[in-house]
Amino acid sequence: MELLQLIIGGLANGCIYGLVALGFVMIYKSSEGVNFAQGDMMMLGAFIALGLGNSDQMGLPFAVAVVLAMILMFGISWGVERVVVRQIFGQPQFALVILTIALGFIFRFVAGSIWGYTPLVLETPFAGQNMRTGGIVISLSDLVTIGVTLVLTVALWSFFAFTRIGLAAQAASQNQMAAYIVGVPVMRVNSLIWGLSGAVATVAGVLYATRGAIDPNIGLLGIKAFAAAVIGGLGSLPGALIGGLVIGVIEPIAGRYAPGELAKMSPYIIMLIVLVTRPGGLFSQIHMKKV
C-alpha cells in the first residue's frame, strides 16, 4: 500500500518533470539547441499566474489567470527568441547553452525583484481536496497534473507529427539550409516554437505550484527535468514524458528504501547509466554518424 502511494505521488511529480522536459525537447526538435533557461521559464510562468490570480495581487479567476499567464509567457519567450537568441543564429550549440544559462539568471532576478524571495503559495480551486480509495490518498491536484500532462503530450506529439508547422519545425532542425530552400521560414518557426515552449513551461509551473509554495529558485528543477529529457532521448516527446515518470517514481522510492542521499543522486545516476549504455537516450534517434 505504501509503495502504491509512493508511486502515485511519484507519477504526479514525474509528470511535472516530464512537462518541463517537453519544453526542452520542443526547442531541441526545432533548432537542435538546448534551452537551459527552461526551468526558469517554468518559474516565471508560475509567478505570472500567481501575480494575476492570487486575491492579494490582481485577483483574477484561476482559469483566466492561467490562460493569461500562458499567453504572456508565449509572448515573453517569443520575444526572447526574437531579440536575443536569434542574434547567435549560426553559432555553435555551445554558445546557446551559455546564453540560456545567463538568461535563466536574468529571469530569476526579474522574478525575485518583483515577487521577492520568500516562498509564496498559488491559490487554486483544487487545493486540499483528496480522494480515498482503499487506504490510498490521491489528491485532486495529482490527478489534474497527470491528466493535463497526458493531454499536452499527445497534443504536442500530434502537432509535430501531423501539422504543417510541426513538420516545418522538424525540417528546419534536420537541415536548415535545405529547409530554407524549400521555403520553410526557419526563423519564424523557431520563434513560434520558443513561444510554445514558454506556454508549456507555464502549465508546468502552475501544476508545480498546486503542489506547494514557489520561490524564484525552483527553476533549478530544470536540471532534473533535463535528466528526464536525456533519459528519454532529447528529441522524442513521449520519451521526455517517460523519462520524467521514471525519475519521478524512482526518486521517492529511493528516498524511502535506499540509504541516505541516494534519492537526491538517483536521477543523475540513472541518467549517467542511460548515457553510457545508450548515448542517444532510450528513444534514440541517431542511427549513424554522417560525415
Partner 1 sequence: MRVVFKTSYDPDIDLHEHGHSRAKIAILLAVMVALPFLVNDYYLAEAANTLIWSLAGMGLMVAVGHTGQVSLGHAAFLAIGAYADSALMSAGAPFWVSFPLAGLITGIFGALIAIPAVRMSGIYLAIATLAVFVIVEELVIILEPITGGVGGIMAPSITFFGLSFDRYGALENFYWLCLAVVALVTWGYANLLRSPTGRSFLAVRDSEVSARALGINVTRTRALAFGLSSGVTGLAGALMGHYIGFFNYELFSIFVSINLLLVVTIGGLGFIQGAFLGAFLITAVPQIIAIMRDNLVSVGIDLSGVPGLDTMIFSLILVGFIIYEPTGLYGRWLKIRTWFEIFPLARRDMFRRQKSYLKTERMR
Q: Is 193 in the site for partner 1 (CB under 8 A)?
A: no
Rounded Cα distance between 215 and 209, Å, is: 10
How many residues does the structure list for the chain?
291
Neighbours of 16 (CB within 10 A): 25
Q: Is 287 in the site for partner 1 (CB under 8 A)?
A: yes
Q: Give the DSSP per-residue string, 39-88.
A: HHHHHHHHHHHHHHHSTTTT---HHHHHHHHHHHHHHHHHHHHHHTGGGG
CB of 267 to partner 1, least distance (A): 8
Member of 41, 103, 152, 207 binding partner 1 (CB under 8 A): 103
Q: Is 183 in the site for partner 1 (CB under 8 A)?
A: no
**Per CB under 8 A, which region of 29-37, 143-151, 204-212, 240-248 contacts partner 1?**
29-37
Q: What angle do CA 91, 34, 281 make, to 5 degrees?
A: 125
Task: HSE, CB side, 13 Å, CA atoms: give it for residue 94.
Answer: 1
- Whichever of 132 and 287 has its CB closer to partner 1, that residue is 287
Q: Is 285 in the site for partner 1 (CB under 8 A)?
A: yes
Q: Is 4 in the site for partner 1 (CB under 8 A)?
A: no
Q: Per residue in 211-243, is it b (16+ CB within 10 Å) or e — as a string?
A: beebbbebbebbebbbbbbbbbbbbbbbbbbbb
Q: Is 34 in the site for partner 1 (CB under 8 A)?
A: yes
Member of 67, 71, 84, 253 binding partner 1 (CB under 8 A): 84
Q: Which residue(s) pair with 138 in the sheet?
A: 131
Q: List the x/- string, 143-182, binding to partner 1 by CB under 8 A.
A: ---------------------------x--xxxxx-----
- Grid cell, residue 5, equals 502511494
Rounded Cα distance between 246 and 231, Å, is: 9
- Whichever of 63 and 105 has its CB closer to partner 1, that residue is 105
Type of residue found at 84 = V
CB of 117 to partner 1, least distance (A): 7
Q: Is 265 in the site for partner 1 (CB under 8 A)?
A: yes
Q: Is 97 in the site for partner 1 (CB under 8 A)?
A: yes
| Three-class DSSP category at 283 | coil
Q: Is 282 in the site for partner 1 (CB under 8 A)?
A: no
Between residue 115 and residue 134, which ones bind partner 1 under the rule CB under 8 A?
117
| Three-class DSSP category at 130 | strand
Rounded Cα distance between 13 and 266, Å, is: 15
Residue count at the site for partner 1 (CB under 8 A)?
A: 57
Q: List the x/- string, 39-78, binding to partner 1 by CB under 8 A.
A: ----------------------------------------
Binding residues for partner 1, per CB under 8 A? 31-32, 34, 84, 87-95, 97-99, 101-103, 105-106, 108-109, 112-113, 117, 170, 173-177, 220, 223, 226-227, 230, 234-235, 260-261, 264-265, 268-269, 271-272, 275-276, 279, 285-291
